[in-house]
Structure 1
Amino acid sequence: MSTRPAAIGYLRRDVSGVSQVWDETQIGSVARRLGYELAKTIVFDARTPDAVAQLITAVERADADAVIVPGAAHFGGVIPDQLVRVCDVVTVSPEATYARWALRADGA
């Protein structure tokens, strides 16, 4: 059993296109560099119903501390607040961390 915090990779295949394998490699690389154990990578597409809710369920089941995603485009351009409320979200490019502790209880 690993003592490193768990992370889940996430991408949309329709956004990654032919770069999907590269995006998955980048997710794994960032996870290792930041000290996460990558539990799995979830791949959805534009037709996936309620993708963010499904991702949150996966985070809760894996007891993950972070979701690592190639970029905000995989969320339609905006990192979802409801996801940041349950875990950190790390984007590969540009590399940024949206920390759950940075959100105040009143949502500001």
Structure 2
Amino acid sequence: MRPQPAAIGFLRHDVSGAQQQWDEAQIQHLARRLGYDLCKTLIFGPETDRPLLRVRTAVSRLDADAVITPSLEHFDGQVPDDVVEVADVITVSPENTYARWVLPPPPE
């Protein structure tokens, strides 16, 4: 068991543009402030094949509890259902947490 929950950062370089380093620093700062161990930051672009699958794979491999992104614009403006099924999605601006829901098993 980890001493603190794990998170990964996610951004798209085409969305960040010239402020990519700033966005990376903001992800790191928010992770620290919220008590997450930022294990890795994924940086993709429009040429990246199946980015949401890659994020989910990283969450699984790193046993991450959250994905921190500068804004929902990095997820094409909406909370990705595929990701929030497995981890909380946290945005830097505006600061918001989209929590995964733990659903009870269906009745037998």
Same fold (TM over 0.5): yes
Secondary structure class of the residue paired with 2:101: helix
Contact 1:10 1:41 survives alignment (8 Å) = yes
The CA deviation at 1:101 is: 2.0
2:71 alignment partner AA: G
In structure 2, C-alpha distance between the alignment counterparts of 1:45 and 1:2, rounded to whole Å: 31
Structure 2 unaligned segments of length 5 or more: list them. none
Deviations 1:44-85 (A, max 9, x none): 001111100011000100000000000000011011011000
1:100 paired to 2:100: yes
Structure 2 residue aligned with 1:91: 91
2:20 alignment partner AA: Q
Structure 1 unaligned segments of length 5 or more: list them. none
- Extract structure 1 runs of 4+ deviating beyond 4 A: 102-105
1:67 paired to 2:67: yes
Secondary structure class of the residue paired with 2:56: helix
In structure 2, C-alpha distance between the alignment counterparts of 1:61 and 1:81, rounded to whole Å: 19
Q: Larger C-alpha radius of gyration, 1 or 2?
A: 2
Identity value in percent: 57
Instruction: Indicate how the Cα distance of structure 1 residues 90 and 103 shifts in structure 2: closer, same or farther if over 3 A, else same.
Output: farther
TM-score (norm 2): 0.92
Provide the aligned length of Structure 1 versus Structure 2: 106
What do you get for the CA RMSD once the two structures are aligned? 2.0
In structure 1, C-alpha distance between the alignment counterparts of 2:97 and 2:56, rounded to whole Å: 17
TM-score (norm 1): 0.92
Structure 2 residue aligned with 1:51: 51
1:44 alignment partner AA: F
